[in-house]
Structure 1
Amino acid sequence: MAEVLVTGGSGYIGSWCVLELLAAGHSVRTTVRDLAKEPGLRAQLAQGGADGELKVLAADLKSDLGWREAVDGCDYVLHVASPTLTSVPRHEDEMIVPARDGVLRVLRAARDSGVRRVVLTSAIGAVAYGHPDREQPFTEADWSDVDAGIPPYQKSKTLAERAAWDFIATEGNGLELAAVNPVGVLGPVLSADYSPSLGLIRRMLDGEVPASLKFACGYVDVRDVADLHLRAMTDPAAVGERFIAQSGSSLWVRDIAKILRDRLGERAGKVPTRELPNWVARAMGRVNPQLRLIVPQLGKNFDATSEKARRVLGWRPRPIEQTVVETAESLLALPAAA
């Protein structure tokens, strides 16, 4: 078994990667920005049935401190940590700089410590944005166009992944790299701190979304994202490759609403039954910060294919309808105070 570092273990994807690694028998360590988060992280992992030893260390993407110690003695690094999108930043560099510089900090530390391979958690945001409308699904050959006025989060993920590949090509000194590009991540929650994709389902269940917004994208189960990270970590065929993580085809928001109503019955009684016209959503976005983040996606279908991950790594994700239902049931089971 290997010694593996997961950066950002308190995050949604990071925590599930830790759980998958522990279940597979690996020795695992993880980083958090502040060790004050350690008790909450351990409680979160216990909720997921964590079994095994876990070392928690402090390291911040904005500082060199702690990274050498975090990677020292590791065979592999899963670099999951990244700035998260909660509102529109005042300047795009607030997201771009820590994402790009953080990736380079982790890669340098990994190279200097003799780590064998790094698996980078990128995103569909580095693949599918800034393109003209198209019918064919996006693949790993596609890159988002950072000069096309794309949102700051997607731009940060694109530039960070580009920087990672450039580093490997010019300064990697034998360090191996693979990238995982998840679409919208759903699945069971371990705490009330979860991904923005789950926030949409939470708001639908709570009746905070009076009508479905008109856009479509792919979705994937967080447990399958973690599984793909582990496959990319050890399979020789993953070296130098990107892998989109998506279950099936894209879903419109109205499709998710229908799944919830059909499968949850009365528990989904507040889920919207109608679709909001795009012009109304754009007008509302001028005064609603959360909606403003989605306005660039209105009317678009960000479909992608995970055929490569299935073919090369034997990855088999769950049916997304199952994930949508299990996500909703998990959210409904959270304590009301959360």
Structure 2
Amino acid sequence: MMHEMAYKVCVEKVKSLGIEFTTPIEETLRDTIVSLMEDYKERSKEIMNGGGKLVCVTGASGYIASWIVKLLLLRGYTVKATVRDLTDRKKTEHLLALDGAKERLKLFKADLLEESSFEQAIEGCDAVFHTASPVFFTVKDPQTELIDPALKGTMNVLNTCKETPSVRRVILTSSTAAVLFRQPPVEASDVVDETFFSDPSLCRETKNWYPLSKILAENAAWEFAKDNGIDMVVLNPGFIFGPLLQPTLNFSVELIVDFINGKNPFNSRFYRFVDVRDVALAHIKALETPSANGRYIIDGPIMSVSDIIDILRELLPDLCIADTNEESVMNEMLCKVCVEKVKNLGVEFTPMKSSLRDTIVSLKEKCLL
């Protein structure tokens, strides 16, 4: 307990300057509260940009999409979200548990390969976030497992958007995989920006099927949008980590688990990660910023595997984290990536150590570590 009686303070000197303490303390408190309430209302208006707006998010159970849905609900949007199986609780429970979901979230079943599958979900929407696309780096049948769902799914969604007069903007989730696989090869001295496009021929030749699926889908989307007057913005994120909302591991966060277990699946000495919350916010900023256009690369700073391991050891002192294989067969140093364009949308990047910490906390909470 602090002092029972406050000491006296002499203010005679300041009074000699002509200052008179005439404002009653009750009036001061009242005016302070009024000011705070007005400020709160203004801030609420900024946050609740989506009040009254109806949007669709495809592939809503996914890592990025779940966060997009969460942020949209927090900003006052009403969301129509698609999943492949409405009866799969692992795909739906975490979405239905989000703040605002009871009042402003409705789930729809949709399949990327079924024409008109997205009509009901997109009907009446002001905007569509198309995130649904498979993420696999090892496949037996690239055409069936990756390329068809990515390409045909994107075209099915865009065709529905074309036929839906209410849709004013489409935000498409692509990847830096649609940026970096090109000829001539990207060098460490290069500064990659939104003008870089992956080369489909090179992807086929090197059997990089996931990058091929992303560049084919993005190229087709740009052509369709141009031909049909669709206002489309594309986001190209790199490797993503950060806390999970869904109850299962996704590909990029599994990479962190691999590091903890002493594995380095890509045999690379360097990686670049970006926080899932920053990626989700960039999607929403791409909708809310009228001048947003073209592509936006979202990627973080270069980190060596040894630096990542050091941070993980600091965050998990009770675990014996093994060193990964340092015999890299991939890039000796990653190229630089320009992210000034996405920063101009008002996106600030979460420090990597904070992202790793929040990822670890999330993995523990979901018993995935």
Distance 1:234 1:169 in 2: 21
User: What is the letter of the counterpart of residue 313 of structure 2?
Assistant: R
**What letter corresponds to residue 321 of structure 2 in structure 1?**
V
Aligned equivalents of 2:91, 2:262: Cα separation in 1: 29
1:251 CA displacement: 1.6
The Cα shift of 1:301 comes to 1.8
Task: Supply the distance in 1 between the matched residues of 2:255 and 2:54 (Cα, whole angstroms).
Answer: 36
State how far apart, in whole Å, the 2-side matches of 1:236 and 1:221 are.
Answer: 24
Structure 2 match to 1:120: 172
Pairing of 1:163-178 with structure 2 (within 5 A) = 163-170=220-227, 172=228, 174-178=229-233
Pick closer, same or farther for the CA change 1:213–1:48 going to 2, 3 Å: farther
Q: Which residue of 1 aligns with 2:59?
A: 8
Partner of 2:322: 272
* Distance in 1 separating the partners of 2:326 and 2:188: 23
Equivalent-residue separation in structure 2 for 1:298 and 1:134 (angstroms): 9
| 1:160 aligned residue | 217
TM-score by length of 2: 0.78
- Which residue of the other structure, out of 261, 275, 282, is the alignment partner of 1:221? 275
Q: 1:124 to 1:235 in 2, by over 3 A?
A: same
Partner-residue secondary structure (3-state), 1:237 = coil
Say yes or no: does 1:322 pair with 2:354: yes
The amino acid across from 1:220 in the alignment is V
Cα distance in 2 for residues equivalent to 1:86 and 1:145: 17
How far is 1:190 from its partner?
2.1
The answer to whether the Cα contact below 8 Å between 2:150 and 2:214 also exists between their aligned partners in 1 is: yes
Is this contact kept in 2: 1:215–1:301, CA < 8 A? no
Q: Which amino acid aligns with 2:188?
A: R
Choose the corresponding residue for 1:243, options 296, 302, 309.
Answer: 296
Distance 2:186 2:283 in 1: 30
The alpha-carbon distance between structure 1 residues 54 and 307, as it changes in their structure 2 partners (threshold 3 A), is same
Distance 2:178 2:75 in 1: 30
The 3-state SS of whatever aligns with 1:301 is coil
1:30 correspondence with 2:30: no
Paired residues in the alignment total 311
Mapped to 1, the partners of 2:61 and 2:199 lie a distance apart of 31
Say which SS state the counterpart of residue 45 (structure 1) adopts. helix
2:104 equivalent in structure 1: 53
- What amino acid does structure 2 have at the position aligned with 1:116? R
Contact 1:71 1:113 in 2 (8 A): yes
Percent of pairs with identical residues: 33
Deviation at 1:317, TM superposition (A): 1.8
Structure 2 CA distance for aligned equivalents of residues 211 and 199 of structure 1: 10
Amino acid at match of 1:261: R
RMSD: 2.3
Unpaired stretches in structure 2, ≥5 consecutive residues: 1-50
Question: What is the distance in 2 between the residues matched to 1:6 and 1:211?
Answer: 31
2:306 to 250, 254, 274: 254
Per the TM alignment, residue 265 of structure 1 is displaced from its structure 2 partner at its CA by 4.4
Cα 1:141–1:27 change in 2 (3 A) is same
Q: Distance in 1 between matches of 2:180 and 2:327?
A: 23
Q: Deviations over 1:186-219 (max 9, x none)?
A: 01012342321110111233x2528993342321
- Picking from 333, 336, 339, the partner of 1:306 is 339
Q: Any stretches of 5+ residues in structure 1 without a counterpart?
A: 280-296
Relative contact order: is structure 1 or structure 2 higher (C-alpha 8 Å, sep ≥ 6)? 1
